[in-house]
Structure 1
Amino acid sequence: MAKLPRERTSVMTIVRDPIARVLSTYEFSVEVAARFLVHPNLTSATRMSSRIRKSNVISTLDIWPWKYLVPWMREDLFARRDARKSKGVVVIEDDNPYDMEEMLMPLHKYLDTPTAHDIIHNGATFQIAGLTNNSHLSEAHEVRHCVQKYKSLGEPVLQVAKRRLDSMLYVGLTEEHRESASLFANVVGSQVLSHVVPSNATAKTKTTKSEASVTVTDSGSDKSEIQNGTSEVALNKTEAKSGNMTVKTLMEVYEGCITHLRKSQGTRRVNSLKRISPANFTRGTRTRVPNEVIQQIKSLNNLDVELYKYAKEIFVKEHELVSKKLVSTSKRSIVDLQNELRSVFGGMDDEKMWKFVSVALMLLLLFLLFLFVNARRRRTSKVKI
């Protein structure tokens, strides 16, 4: 981020609770890796995944950290499946998906692997500080390894990450995703729309160019799965071209998108985990994670724990700023109403104008009351007849 031109760059992020992030990382890496188990062996799965990836498709295997974690877990799942086949009948007695060694790598072992230490633990802090294994800076890897080896060096890195959060346009929280989306729409969306709408008005006089769509897909095991798991991100042409896109419509689009996305991802998750049944991950199964493992996650992600606390403080401040902005907007609307009334009633001062408005409202209420009483009398007379 430091290499980007500040005057033309806006950075935003969403921070997640470290425990939820680590558990979700474990679950998702297993889920995506399990999709490849339809293949007879690892070689076939690897060959197919490289063959079906296209230039206009963003695959899960192109995104950090999944491009490292999914192949790793895929290899592990195939090895365990081969081991089960060689043993013949395998009876799995424990139904805890986080400790089902015959099917997949147990969570407590997953947490203590070199891959997890290098990529997962304190991943949010390292990512924001620019020190992940995906960084283009060679010295980033040396710094990260030093911090992992000498825990006392983590504090300076944490401070760098905090300062970067401070400089960001927007910071959201995964656990407050709806509120985060609302804040995003008000903080970021309103600014973007203020530039988009005028440009759309100008664009009406120009020739419409061909529009490219961006396709996002989770890498799966075969062509049909790729198609079923594909979702296209496209601009709402009608709203954008007419200049009617507002913060409200932006939120409506988001609500529709997130509902569809959750439904499709839920279905895909169920189908993927069938291949490693009886292992299954749900909200309820997370209660099966032992407390000592939870404490282990906290300890291994101590920097992320502190960063998440700081992100929550920023989130509260953002909420307060947006609330003040909305109140200020409401006050301006009242002032605008007053100015409009003044323009209608000429040189009438504030006191006389509001007296007039009060009288008008009173007359309106009396008129409505008269209509209500008259309607009741008519109904009563009809009943008597």
Structure 2
Amino acid sequence: MDLQICHVTGSSFIGTGGRTYFHCFLRKLYTSAQECPRSYDKLRFDPSKPNCRLMVTHDDYSLMSKLPKDRTSVVTILRSPIDRVFSTYEFSVEVAARFLVHPNLTSATQMSGRLRPKTRGVSTLDIWPWKYLVPWMREDLFIRRDARKLVKHRELSETHDPYNMEDMVMPLHKFINDPVAHEIIHNGATFQVAGLTNNSCLVESHEVRHCVRKHPVLGHFVLEVAKSRLDHMLYIGLTEDHKKSATMFAKMVGAQVLSQSEALNSNMESEVSNTTELSSAFPDPDTDGSNQVQHSTNSQQAGKVPSPSDVEPAKENMTVGKLMEAYEACTSTLRKSQANRRTMSLKRIAPANFSKEARLLVPGTVLQQILSLNSLDVELYKHAQEIFMQQQKHLTQNAQDNFMQHQGQLMAEGEQQKNMHGILYGCSPWKIVLLAVAVLLVLVLVLLVVSTGRRTSKLKV
């Protein structure tokens, strides 16, 4: 499960579909100026921008100990335990297979070591848990490739199950039983939400994990901590219920962020306007225009309110509807890109080729073992599903309440208009009579004045 924290001065984000949500949701809501420095593990945590509003990281929940609790909330997207293990296995193999372009493991290791310091971006090998899983799988792939070269004439074992092609890649059933998997993968979601992974900021995390593996009954206490953390999160999504989760995220989180951004922009415009008015009202009589400009620039650099042009604006004119439209277009493009990259990587270990259809070929005994090894995650996922349903009910109820309120307002407005029309119609005959009387009186007065004038003009002195 990937961890992302969305520090929204009141909102934060964790997710398993983190890459998709980050690129297709969060980047539509936040500007680059609002992003915190990237943080991918406890050694790379960078608090240099304390007022940032969005932080992306792969740390576990223990990272919250470094953030202001009163200004930070958390969102997570959980994946079903079986799918999470499949996904971890597939991605580890996919990334490791990219190194097979090198003639040997030594060359691959040296090249990646030389490239990483030169690039400003972050390599997958810097990110937990891939910084452990990919090198492990990379070494295994090179060993198997070297073994195939030594026995060129030996026929490869025939199997149609890409998860059990031992000549090409470590089989899934061996992967899940390796000590590395027990340390990092199994019950990984529970330990991550509890903040007790092997990447934890807590010193005692290793001892706790060791005790839980030695005495499984103790896992119940870790599970309860993780459940409690879920209960207090702003939003829970489910990877398997992608469409509903995305819509819910837009309505629950996106709407709040947009509302906060509007308020922030409004306050900023007000402060800038007030500052401008004060500057205009009290000009310095001893300075000319050029000095005033210089003084203004120096004042802003000293920490006063900057002009709108100096601050990158939040995403303007964004609504929940537009956010969903942008998200759907973005995910379509991102999925195509990821699919193409996966195809290119897996060509190097063909005929192994992972897919949802191929997962159906995995024996039931292996699936059952995955569930057994991830019993804590199974219970945590059930709890997440319950929260997800509650969120749906809450949104549905809010929508119904808003609809009824809107209908009530329309009915009230209709009654007011009806009453107004009734009053107008009721008063119309009287108004007509009064108007006619007034017109007649005016005509009579005019005639009297005219006739009096004529009589006077006929008098002779």
Query: TM-score, normalized by length of structure 1?
Result: 0.78
CA offsets, 1:350-379, max 9 Å, x none?
A: xxxxxxxxxxxxxxxxxxxxxxxxxxxxxx
Question: Residue 162 of structure 2: which of 70, 75, 97 is its match?
Answer: 97
Task: Name the counterpart of 1:23.
Answer: 86
Counterpart residue number, 2:46: none
CA apart distance, 1:42: 1.4
Aligned match of 2:355: 282
With 48-57 and 181-190 compared, the bigger mean Cα shift is at: 48-57
Matched residue, 1:333:
406
Give SS of 1:313's match. helix
Deviation per CA, 1:82-140, whole angstroms, max 9, x where unpaired?
11112223422223211111111111111111100000000000000011111021201
Whole-Å separation in 2 of the counterparts to 1:145 and 1:134: 14
Distance of aligned partners of 1:178 and 1:50 in 2 relative to their CA distance in 1, 3 Å threshold: farther
Q: Which residue of 1 aligns with 2:459?
A: none
CA shift for structure 1 position 65: 1.4
Distance 2:395 2:115 in 1: 45
Contact map agreement 1:61 1:70 (CA 8 A) in 2: yes
Match of 1:66 in 2: 130
Query: Greater shift after overlay, 44-53 or 304-313?
Result: 44-53
- Structure 2: state its 5+ residue gaps: 1-60, 273-306, 423-461
Which letter maps to 1:250?
L
- In the alignment, what sits opposite 2:3? none
CA distance in structure 1 between the aligned counterparts of 2:417 and 2:121, rounded to whole angstroms: 58
- Does the residue aligned with 1:14 lie in a helix, a strand or coil? strand
- 1:85 corresponds to: 149
With 192-201 and 66-75 compared, the bigger mean Cα shift is at 192-201
Q: Contact 1:342–1:348 (CA<8 Å) still a contact in 2? A: no
**Does 47-56 or 9-18 show the bigger shift?**
47-56
Structure 1 position 264 matched with structure 2 position 327: no
- Pair 1:7 & 2:108 matched: no
For the pair 1:123 / 2:196, whether they are aligned, the reply is no
The reply to whether residue 76 of structure 1 matches residue 140 of structure 2 is: yes
The alignment's TM-score, normalised by the length of structure 2, stands at 0.66
Q: 1:305 corresponds to which letter in structure 2?
A: V
Report the residue type matching 2:381 in the other structure: Y
Q: Tell me, yes or no, if structure 1 residue 184 matches structure 2 residue 249.
A: yes
Rounded Cα–Cα distance in structure 2 between residues aligned with 1:209 and 1:275: 49
1:302 is aligned, of 360, 375, 391, to 375
> 1:273-310 CA deviation, whole Å, 9 max, x = no partner?
00001111111111111110011001000000111111
Deviation (angstroms), 1:52:
3.0
SS at match of 2:309: coil
- Give the match for residue 221 of structure 1: none
Once residues 412 and 337 of structure 2 are traced to their aligned partners in structure 1, the CA distance between those partners, rounded to angstroms, is 51
Whole-angstrom CA distance in 2 between matches of 1:332 and 1:17: 38
Distance 2:153 2:201 in 1: 47
1:321 to 2:394 alignment: yes
Cα displacement string for residues 299-357 of structure 1 (whole angstroms, at most 9, x for unaligned residues): 000000111111100000000001111112222322333454466556579xxxxxxxx
| Fraction of identical pairs, as percent | 59
Q: Which of structures 1 and 2 has the bigger CA Rg?
A: 2
Q: Structure 2 residue aligned with 1:34, among 91, 97, 108?
A: 97
CA distance in 2, matches of 1:136, 1:148: 20
Measure the CA separation in 1 of the matches of 2:254 and 2:416.
33
Question: Residue in 2 aligned with 1:208?
Answer: 309
**Structure 2: distance between partners of 1:332 and 1:152:** 51
Q: Could you list the runs of 5+ residues in structure 1 that have no partner in the other structure? A: 212-236, 350-385
Q: CA RMSD in A?
A: 2.2
Residues paired across the two proteins, number = 322
* Distance in structure 2 (CA, Å) of the matches to 1:301 and 1:52: 37
Q: 1:163 to 1:24 in 2, by over 3 A?
A: same
